[in-house]
Amino acid sequence: MFKKPGLVVNKYFSTRGGDNSVSLQDAMLNPAANAGGLYVPEFIPELDLEYLKEKSNIIRYIDLAFNVLHIFGINMGNNELFTILKNYENWDDPENPAPVKTLENGLHVMELWHGPTRAFKDMALSIFPKFLGSIAAARNLNLLVMVATSGDTGPASNYGFANVDKIKSFCMYPEGGTSEVQKLQMITEDAENINVTGINGNFDDAQNALKEMLSSEEFKNALSEKGYQVSAANSVNFGRIVLQIVYHIWGYIELVKKGSIKFGDEITSVIPSGNFGNGLACYYAKMMGLPIKKIVLASNSNNVLTQFFMTGIYDLTNRELIKTNSPAMDILKSSNIERLLCHLYGQEITKELMNNLNKNKSFELSENEFSEFVNIFSADFATDTEVVYKISDVFMNNDYTIDPHTATAFVVMEKLGLSGHVLISSTAEWTKFQDTMIKTLDDEIITSLEKPKQIVELSAKKVNHTKVIPISEIKKEVLNFLI
């Protein structure tokens, strides 16, 4: 799959082969592709770099999003598209939902958490649900949107889908596997079209259940009898990925606007990564032509991604999920690796590798295959101890507060000795992880820090969702929700 200049993507294919193709809208409605795969674009389109260079100082975020959605094949009237994108104007800064802060010479942080639930998932999930609602209304469909969360996707998707016509959303989270703030954001949701249910298990269990339901004909038939079609809000849905590509381009434009770099200068992007959706979006931005020298992935102690990008081996044998102080990254099976494999090696090899992973819990790239991405990616990980130290270190030396997930990126940047212009993706506001922050910074400091009203008001909200069930009962619970 190659880049093609000046063309718009019109077709999406399964990562695991098959001749059938769908539009972006159809891929968003039904993200389960042939043979259990995920949808990928038929080619990676090219950015108009001359346009971006010319417009860098005046382009708005919603203009950039409009153009990226267009070249990836969104089929929607311009007025409706801009109306949906205007939801970004409800963020802290109506003109800039993803501001870039420079902490010291060459070190920059893109703050992706200025939205309604204070995490980077808002960048896509405050917009994506409106697209699905529009498509469902145009086709007169009732949609059940499944959501599996490790902590941030749940609150963001619940906010985005709340009271959207033609859609009901079922969100499952691992009981005890999120921060207290993340859990409160979910269980206090009061929209009637949203169900939030805890599971006795971890995120991988929830994600596996979601994928199984998306591909189960029996489950889809049961939904059909109730008048519903199933979709998903997780990054298995390519609609999510398209919207995440936008802010990686925006971060570069922000650096140009600030005068930190000249257009054409290369940067290094450092991204906290769990399910690899954020890293994949950055990969697309690079392959579209954005001057990114290298993409650096930061993990926590669940460092399967680190192992893979350092050795070409993806190995889940003898691995148990570890609960860390960066819980949104407590993931072992990263779905979006499959899309990367497909773009690099094609559908046949991808299908073989994913079958090996499902059957043997591991796969290994050949030497030639591995050599294809070592120049694109680097990776390392941070322990809980390193995360706590780095939060304190950045606060004391830069007077800047970071959350545990962003801290993994700072740790990895230091371990790898990165130089030049480094852009760290800050994926959540510190306020979502107050238990860890209280253990890291003095009480006096925590008290003095400003907290947004979305977080302050949480403790006064009524708890509306209390159910926690075995993962084996999820299908039954979903069908009961639709009664």
pLDDT in the model for residue 1: 44
Residue 171, beta-bridge partner list = 147, 196
pLDDT in the model for residue 117: 97
Q: Which tens digits make up the pLDDT trace of 152-176?
A: 999 999 999 999 999 999 999 999 9
Q: Which tens digits make up the pLDDT trace of 360-411?
A: 999 999 999 999 888 999 999 999 999 999 999 999 999 999 999 999 999 9
Separation of alpha carbons 74 and 411, rounded Å? 38
Which residues fall within 8 angstroms of residue 54, CB to CB, at 6 or more apart? none
- In this prediction the pTM is 0.96
262 pLDDT band (50/70/90 cuts)? very high
SS (H, E, C) the chain: CCCECCCCCCCEEECCCCCCCECHHHHHHCCCCHHHCCEEECCCECCCHHHHHHHCCCCCHHHHHHHHHHHCCCCCCHHHHHHHHHHHHHCCCCCCCCCEEEEECCEEEEECCCCCCCECCHHHHCCHHHHHHHHHHHHCCCEEEEEECCCCHHHHHHHHHCCCCCEEEEEEEECCCCCHHHHHHHHCCCCCCEEEEEEECCHHHHHHHHHHHHHCHHHHHHHHHCCCEEEECCCCCHHHHHHHHHHHHHHHHHHHHHCCCCCCCCEEEEEECCCCHHHHHHHHHHHCCCCEEEEEEEECCCCHHHHHHHHCEEECCCCCCCCCCCHHHCCCCCCCHHHHHHHHHCHHHHHHHHHHHHHHCEEECCHHHHHCCCCCEEEEECCHHHHHHHHHHHHHHHCCCCCHHHHHHHHHHHHHCCCCCEEEEECECHHHHHHHHHHHCCHHHHHHCCCCHHHHCHHHCCCCCCCEEEHHHHHHHHHHHCC
Separation of alpha carbons 326 and 330, rounded Å? 7
Separation of alpha carbons 412 and 192, rounded Å? 42
Domains and CATH numbers, the chain: 27-89+121-238 (3.40.50.1100), 98-115+244-449 (3.40.50.1100)
CB 419 within 8 A of CB 427: no
Beta strands 107-111 and 422-426: pairing type? parallel
Separation of alpha carbons 430 and 401, rounded Å? 7
pLDDT in the model for residue 18: 87
Q: Which tens digits make up the pLDDT trace of 60-83?
A: 999 999 999 999 999 999 999 999
Q: Which tens digits make up the pLDDT trace of 300-317?
A: 999 999 999 999 999 999
